[in-house]
Amino acid sequence: MANKTAPLLIAIGASLWGIIGVFVTYLYEMGFTPIQVVAIRVLTAAIFMSTYLLFKNRHLFKIKPRDSRYFIGTGIISIVLFNWCLFSSMEESSISIAFILLYTAPAFVTILSRILFKESLTFRKVTALLITLVGCSLVIGIFSNSAESLSLYGLIIGLGSGFFYALYSIFGKAALSKYDSLTVTVYTFLFASVAIVPFSGLGSMVATFTNLKVWGLVIGLGFLSTMLPFIFYTKGLHHVESSRASIIATIEPVVASFIGFFIFNETLSLWQYIGMILVISSVIIVQESKKRKGAQPLYHKAEA
């Protein structure tokens, strides 16, 4: 039964990641800035995940002080900057475009892995990179003169979210060789919280937290779109290989696009929808390549 429900759990987890735009957009409307929303997400996620780990297996909290450098990489360099770029991209463009540019992460992982780990660039990988390039060109509105075309700043921060998310796989590879994925995730959010919360300006928003709607959005962001999808995805990953799980997780930008369309009336041009399909296709091509080799991919959502 577990094997049959595993793909569904992964799909649910990816879908919950996909609805994050709802909470982010409404927090913007309440007066929060992108950096404050990042601070809210990492802090609430750190609290929820730490509590979960405390009850599940408190021994997983043990790490060696010298290994803190791994979590500076995953938490500060990757998660903080990735979330800031993603949330800023939502504000600058749209939820749909932000999530598609985020999905350039596998392409960045492929390039970085070639440079840092000397991994081979196969025909399938090169093909996937080219498809990603074409897809992104269409998504940013290269063939569109409409309002949906993306500014240079929007493009840079959108690609930045993919790049910094990709760095998580690079830094996380070393950390996961020594620690459980739960340990890595908890310390990633703890380090991220320590790095950004004091400088986020959340103190100036204290009065806003008297609004129950804000607390609903905060819990939705930290629990519904961060902790729960991690648990569902990880549970499903125990019974489904990572490459297949990554392919199932491409439902995330699809859900994000539906959210943008039905809730916030976001629309894209035909060329942009074609670009979206191409970017998702490139992710599938890369993961299928790794699946055939029997390797575990560096990029999968369970660790983010």
At residue 21, the pLDDT reads: 95
At residue 30, the pLDDT reads: 95
- Coil/strand/helix, residue 142: coil
At residue 295, the pLDDT reads: 45
Return all residues near 161 (Cβ < 8 A) that are at least 6 apart: 82, 83, 85, 86, 89, 98, 101, 102, 105
At residue 2, the pLDDT reads: 61
**Side chain identity at residue 90, one-letter code:** M
Q: The whole model's pTM is what?
A: 0.88
Please, are residues 301 and 246 in contact by the beta-carbon 8 Å criterion?
yes
Closest CA to 108 of 302, 283, 257, 284: 283
At residue 235, the pLDDT reads: 83
Task: Please name the helix (run of DSSP H) or strand (run of DSSP E) that holds residue 290, with its range, or none.
Answer: helix 270-293
At residue 71, the pLDDT reads: 95
In order along its 304 residues, the chain shows pLDDT tens digits of: 567 788 899 999 999 999 999 999 999 999 999 999 999 999 999 999 999 999 999 999 999 999 999 999 999 999 999 999 999 999 998 898 999 999 998 889 888 888 888 888 888 888 989 999 999 888 877 666 554 567 889 899 999 999 999 999 888 888 988 999 899 999 999 999 999 999 999 999 999 999 999 999 999 999 999 999 988 988 887 787 766 777 788 899 999 999 999 999 988 888 888 999 999 998 888 776 555 554 444 444 434 4
Please, are residues 46 and 190 in contact by the beta-carbon 8 Å criterion?
yes
Domain count, the chain: 1
At residue 304, the pLDDT reads: 45
At residue 48, the pLDDT reads: 95
Dist CA 21 CA 291 (whole Å): 31
At residue 148, the pLDDT reads: 55
Parent domain of 140: 2-303
Please, are residues 38 and 196 in contact by the beta-carbon 8 Å criterion?
yes
At residue 110, the pLDDT reads: 87
At residue 298, the pLDDT reads: 41
